[in-house]
Structures are given as structure tokens and as C-alpha cells.
Structure 1
Amino acid sequence: MAGKYDFWVDITSPPQVFFFTPIIKELVKKGYSVYVTVRDRGETVALAKKYLSNFSITGSDSPHSILKISKTVARTLALSLKVPDYDICLCSELPMGVAVSKIKRRRSLIFLDNDLKVYEPGMFQKLEVKVKTLSNYVIVPKVAVKSFGKVVPEEKIIHYDGYKEHISISIFRPDPSELNNIPFSEFVVIRPEALSAMYVREKKSIVPDLIKRFYRENVNVVYLPRKGDFEYLSKSFIKKYDNIFIPDGAVDGLNISYYAKAVLTGSGTMAREASLLGTTAVSFFPSKKLLAVDIDLISKKRLFHSRDVNEIINHVLSNWNKKRLPEFDVCKKIVKNLTEEITNHLDGA
């Protein structure tokens, strides 16, 4: 589509494909034009090909800190030259879209829910937070308003009821055929810690110990690796255990989470998604400080957090057949309300 777009959406990680797809669909349904860019990171491009009809691939990521910074800067400059004219940018967590919008003198709305990142030390982290606050509006879950309000001007904060993951699962419907390639009828899902992330200080994974314990308990594991994580889960280790299955290529994380007996992850997204899908959810995020959204889910007994392998195994086994009803109706309502909020800022220009 030539000419000026109403919205530019910048997608930088696999979970953002699920998050932005329902928003994009709702915007297009309302008659707005949307230009989408995708960063080549992990399964992001593969998932985008599955869920989005049209997008442009720009830039990539690296697990190494120095390269990560240089690639971020390079991608921001490339986007400033490549992205066609638009009215409002929508992005999440990484504020490359905010920076480009400042260069182009366009408006931006950034979605945030990781309130831990805005308090992290380090020059690059502080710079990232500064760029985020340059956005015209910062959209956060209601339960995180107090935390973000310490660094983001109050007049810039827009909040919504629920969690970012409500939006991700709003258009999801279970499809058992997606499990045809999985060799187990019953299984748990494990996604490792994001040890290369700058806001993660601990650099030791508990995944090997979890797999060993599940093996002793005769529990099958569908393992969803992060790019380059064989450095702490070697191929020789995997060969020792016949209860591990690693899918080839990208998988539908929502579908596999829905049918799993439990989802265990070293970061928060998959655990929150699993919780809202009614599946037993465990976070072994490597920190005693947790996101406001995770604290809220824990208080509602929808999420279990621990770095103790014995505690985790006991929790999973004691909740083996305790599937809850998914929150599909709530998700649709949140997407509708949030999209109306977004379009109000365009139409009110």
C-alpha cells in the first residue's frame, strides 16, 4: 500500500507476534491501514509468516551484550530510513519505534509490562528507559501503574484491566492437530531462562535439574529452547534422556500450552499465557524481584514461582489434572477496549 499509513507496528520478539496480531486485525477491521516490521529474533519471523499476511523484516538480534547494542542501534537507523510515513507507531518493550518516531516527528504508543527493566542499573538500560519515556503514551496493565508511575510521567500513562497476555490469546482457539508431531500424549512444557537478557543477573539455569527430576518421575518434557541456549543444555545431555522432545522450527506456544499438563518457564510470558488458558503455570524467573503482573497472578493463586526444583516438581505433580476454564471472553473484551483507546488517539489528532 503506497502513501501514508495510519499505524506502524514494530514487532521485535516471538511473544509480540501473538500480542500484536489481534490488535492489527482489529485495526484493519475498523478500516485503518497498518504497516508492520519484524525483527529477526528466534521464532519471530516464522510466527509472523503464520499469523500475519504482510510484513517487512528489518534487523536481527544477538545474545552477546555488545553486539546486541550495536544491532539495536543499526536497526533503529535502518527503520528510520525504511519505514514509510505513518501517524502513530505501536511497539512493545524495546523502544526502537519510539526513537524512530522522534526522528520522524511522529507519535508513538509503547506497551510495557516489565516494570523490573525500568529500574535496572547500567548505562544502556537507563538509556532504554529514557527513550521509552519519550513515547507520547505508555500503555501498562492496571496492576503495574504504581510501579511505572515512578519513572513515567502520570499524564503519559494509559492503563487497562488484565494482562498483556489477555490480548495474545484473544484470537486463539485450541487445535489438537497441532500436536500431531509431539510423541507424547501427556507432557509438560519447559522454556528456559533468558540468560542473555540484560535485566537478568543470575546466569545459571535450573533447566538441567528440572529435566533430571521429571525423568525420575516418568514425566515427558517438550523443551522449547532459546536461540543459542545449548551452552547450558548440551546435545550430549539431551541424548541421555528419552523423555525430552524438541520440536523442529517454530511451534504455536499457545496451543502447546493449552494442551500441556503444566508450563514452566524462566521468563514470564508463557507462564502468564498458560495461566489464562487454565493450565498449571510455573515461573522460575531468576530473581526474587518479580513483575507486578506476576505478583498479582501469584496472589490469585494462578501462578507459582520458585527456583527450588523440589518445590516446582511437587507443585506440578499435585496439580496434574486440575485444568481450569480459559478466559477467552475476557480476552476479547480487553482487546476491543484497548483498540478503541488506541484509535481514539489517532482520530482525536
Structure 2
Amino acid sequence: MKIWIDFINTPQVSFWVPFIRAFQMDNHELLLTCRDSGNTLELLKLNGLEYQLIGKKVGKGFFQKLLFFPKRIYLLYSFIIKHKPDVAASQSSFYQPIVARILGIPCLYTNDNEHARGNLFGFYFASKVILPLPLSNEGFVKKWPLKSKVSFYPSVKEAIYLSQDPDLIQLIPGKKTTIYFRPEPWSAQYYSGPLNFFDQTILKIATKHKVIILPRDPNQRAHYKQEKFNQVSVAVKPLKLKDILSNCLLFIGAGGSMTRELAVLGIPAISIYQAETLCVDRYLVDKGRMKINPTISYAEINKELDDRKDSEINTAILDEGKKSFHKIKDLIFDLK
């Protein structure tokens, strides 16, 4: 079977890698397409995956995105019609379900951000939709056409792919020395909050602790490479989760999957996301795995560090992730 997966942003690479490895072991053919966004290309290369780049970088502006959307639809259509995949699957690619519907390719769509406007395309055009269980009480899942095609998987998407790497568990205990910071998603369609709002706090933290910035793209990397940030380190390329996990004292993230990854693995994690809280984040807060404080101060962070306990191994969420992995894999096979 030929399986087509489309990547349009960085977190989707981590999500699909264990599925891709499983498909390859079962001798299925993979057709991978991607858009140049964030660290997507770097992560695809880091994982040794062959892909077809379709669509260059696009700015955050509404009209830029509006003009780019039909262009990439056309480019995807022109490429996919020649390669004839049997099924399609994506984690929040808003383009793939449209092209798949046009070409009669059964398509599975999933997303964990209930505020993403592009969900309208995924929900309408995909053959099947699967969402994290924390979204099951949202009103939109009970409306047509979604209610006839949606199912739910336990826990959060990060638990799915993390559950497929048992070596990570061994890295949770031990002495940690570094604070990691993941800035806000500057160019994301769903983000409308302030930019660079945490810079001064990070500089204060760096006077007492080792701080590593994990930029989302080259523009963000250039910002934190300015002379005024000489007290912090800036990752020049995406770091492997294992490298972060091995010495992460505290993770501060302005939204996104990376904050949830560390939270799922039991590392102290604080979300400072400056927009409406996602259901999946509230789920992790309820489980005691994450704190949300968009206005956290330097003094409050110091208190968090003073009160910090050693990271504990708790595999409950990862066990749910294993179940979700097999559920999604079976759904993809069932499409055909």
C-alpha cells in the first residue's frame, strides 16, 4: 500500500516518524510531501526521510496565507495525481484533505488545536477524523459533517509518539542543570498574541542559570543571536528530545508541542502561551503534568525552581499513547 503523508509544520514530523518506521517495516510505500515551515525540513533530514518540497515559506500576513493556499493546493494536486497513493493521512495539514477528496483518495485527518481555522477543511473533506479525547466535549464535534466521521484517541498526541521510544524513560531521573525556552510561534495562523514578551525575564533568568533558547525558525534564531542575548545559548539547529530531556531542569514554552512533550515525560513544564488555552493543555494541567501562567514573573520562576522536586517516572499517559498509536495505525489501514 502506498501511504501519503503531508507535513506543514514542525511538530508533525515527530508525530509521524514512529508510524513511518512501522509502515516501512511492514513494506508499505511512503510518499512524503512538505511545506517549508519552521524546522520542518531540518527535522525531516535529521530523521533521514526522503520528501518532496511543495510550497516555499509564507509570511504570517493574512493575505499572504490566503494567496498561498490555492497555489499549494494546485501544486499538491499536480504532484499527487502522478504518484497515485492508496490512502492519505495528516496531522493538521489543511491542504491534503482537499486534494485527496478531489482525487478520490481516502484521507485521515487529525488535529489537537480546536482554534485552528484550517480545521474546517480537514473536518469537511477528510474521510475520517480522529481527535484527542480532551476535545470530545467541544460543541463542534457534535455538528455535521464531523459527527458522522469523528472518533477519539486517549490522552494527547505527544504521548502517542513518545510512547514508541522506550529509551526516553531512562533519561527522566538524574541531575538537571539547564532551563530551556521555546518562544511564541511568530508566524502561526492561530497565534495573535504579543511577540518577544518574555525576553527581559529570560535575561534575568540567565544571570543565575544556564539557559538555552530553542528558536522556531531562522528569523527567531537571528533575534536571539543579538548581542544583548549574549548570556543565553541559542540552538543553531533543532535539538533531539533526548538531548533536552537528559539535562532539562525546567522547560518554559510559549505554546506548542515541545512544552507538552516535556510535561508528558514528567519534566517540570510551564506554558506561557499568550492566547486561549487549548483543551489538551488543560488536560495536562488536570493531570498535574503542566502549569499555565502567561504572566509568570522572574520571582515566580525562582520559586518554582526552589520548590522543584526530582522528576518522577509515571507511565500512565504513555500507556494511553500506546493504545492511541495502534488505533490511528488501524484507522489508516481501514481507509483502504
Contact kept? 2:176, 2:247, Cα under 8 Å? no
Compute the TM-score of the two structures, normalised by the length of structure 1.
0.83
Shift in Å at residue 312 of structure 1?
5.1
Q: Which of residues 215, 227, 230 is equivalent to 1:236? A: 227
Q: Which of residues 120, 129, 150 is equivalent to 1:130? A: 120
Q: CA 1:59–1:335 in 2, change beyond 3 Å: closer, same or farther? A: same
Task: Look up the SS of the partner of 1:197 in the other structure.
Answer: coil
Shift in Å at residue 86 of structure 1?
1.3
What is the distance in 1 between the residues matched to 2:242 and 2:119? 30
What is the distance in 2 between the residues matched to 1:165 and 1:135? 22
Q: Which of residues 132, 152, 166 is equivalent to 1:159? A: 152
The equivalent of 1:206 in structure 2 is 197
Matched, 1:70 2:71: no
Matched, 1:304 2:291: yes
Q: Which of residues 4, 19, 29 is equivalent to 1:23? A: 19
* Alignment gaps of 5+ in structure 1: 118-124, 178-183
Q: Which of residues 311, 320, 330 is equivalent to 1:340? A: 330
Deviations 1:251-277 (A, max 9, x none): 214541453111111113111100111
* Root mean square deviation of aligned Cα: 2.6
Q: Which of residues 128, 131, 140 is equivalent to 1:140? A: 131
Compute the TM-score of the two structures, normalised by the length of structure 2.
0.86
The equivalent of 2:110 in structure 1 is 111
**Count of paired positions:** 322
Q: CA 1:23–1:325 in 2, change beyond 3 Å: closer, same or farther? A: same
Most deviating of 84-93 and 223-232: 223-232
Query: Match of 1:55, as an amino acid?
Result: Y
Q: CA 1:258–1:76 in 2, change beyond 3 Å: closer, same or farther? A: farther
Shift in Å at residue 71 of structure 1?
3.0
Most deviating of 266-275 and 226-235: 226-235
Q: CA 1:233–1:189 in 2, change beyond 3 Å: closer, same or farther? A: same
The equivalent of 2:94 in structure 1 is 95
Query: Match of 1:167, as an amino acid?
Result: I
Most deviating of 167-176 and 92-101: 167-176
The equivalent of 2:234 in structure 1 is 246
Shift in Å at residue 27 of structure 1?
2.4
Shift in Å at residue 329 of structure 1?
4.8
Q: Which runs of 4+ in 1 moved over 6 A?
A: none
Query: Match of 2:265, as an amino acid?
Result: L
Q: CA 1:176–1:135 in 2, change beyond 3 Å: closer, same or farther? A: same
